[in-house]
Structure 1
Amino acid sequence: MNLTEILKPEAIKVIASASSKKRLLHDIGELAQSAYGYDSASLVAALMERESLGPTGVGNGVALPHARMEQVTDMTAAFILLDQPVNFDSVDRQPVDIVMALFAPESAGVEHLKALALVSRTLRSADLCKKLRANHDASTLYALLTSDQNTQAA
């Protein structure tokens, strides 16, 4: 698995700011609805339910919200870059400005874990995050995210 299999260029967006974590999750839902046709309200509810189990802010300004949903048939992702970081209750207590959301079918087991590992490994690169933060063009962000062939999951 690699990011080109789960992330469409249309599922990348740069947003000036989000007033809260909840607003950011709504932005993710709207982006996923636009790119994949998912029901935004259901998606936001699933993401918020997952967040209630524990925050998905992994540190260094990165968050990986994710949810399993009945309406999702294939593993998919959406990416948002924020100009102004937002509090996301991250493990390091730092606000986030890089958000990669994952959406999995309810029946996804290992596939969901592989996708999470792939995204986590990709966004753990300080060099890549620096490049992402320096670019605000969606097509450039897509190229940066999908160009590294070392980001393949087993």
Structure 2
Amino acid sequence: MRSEALTPLEYLDQLPEERKAAMVHFRNIIVANLPTGFEEGMGYGMLGYFVPHTLYPGGYHCNPTLPLPFLNLASQKNFIALYHMGLYADAELINWFIEAYPKHTTAKLDMGKSCIRFKNMETIPWELITELLTKITPDHWISLYEKAFRKG
């Protein structure tokens, strides 16, 4: 569900009540725990967290006018989705996350390449998500990105 909201607060204000508390909690955890240098905004109709052009002037290879995306958070029709590009680009990180996940929740991990889907708001592993957010700095992300996505 792509939002036309122009700011993160506008996005959150437009959410249905049954999702709002979890999404606000997610945003608060992200803002409090992402390493310094990432910026918040809107990206692809979702809450977006990215490396700004001031730190990475080349921007996103698909559209260099956009800052380098790192993390997105969205309230989809049947779940909350956390899109963490570091999981997609770093085998060690994804292996850590998959191994740690069952230690933090009874819910089955529902995951795509970079997307973690949370269908039950009561079983979101907040402590694990908080730790995940601290694991990649903007400089580390730029290095991973250039190795994984900037061929030649």
TM value normalised by structure 2: 0.30
Q: Which has the higher contact order (CA 8 A, sep 6+)?
A: 1
Flag the structure with higher strand content: 1
